[in-house]
Amino acid sequence: MSSAQHDRRIGYIEFSVTSVPEAKRFYGEAFGWSFEDYGPEYASFADGRLNGGFQTVSRVATGGPWW
């Protein structure tokens, strides 16, 4: 992998969701992502270019992903 190819590319992103199963259903259908479960409150996803995860929270705040 050349560094120019991956320059300024997001390597891993996490999304806060109220339901991991519902997020998996939506994003799986919309983008064809595959998932790996890490218990009932976390799942990672991958699409060959982007990796990330869904973390269960009681209430999702506005403003985008939290890091």
> In order along the chain (67 residues), what is the average pLDDT of each group of 10 residues?
66 91 95 93 89 91 69
Given this model, what pLDDT does residue 6 score?
A: 63
Q: Which CATH class is domain 12-56?
A: alpha beta
Q: Are 56 and 18 in contact (CB under 8 A)?
A: yes
Q: Are 49 and 6 in contact (CB under 8 A)?
A: no
Question: What's the CA gap between 46 and 53, in Å, rounded?
Answer: 9
Given this model, what pLDDT does residue 11 score?
A: 80
Using one digit for the tens of pLDDT, what is the confidence trace for 28-40? 999 989 999 999 9
Q: Which pair of tokens denotes residue 53?
A: 């995860």
Q: Which pair of tokens denotes residue 34?
A: 């595959």
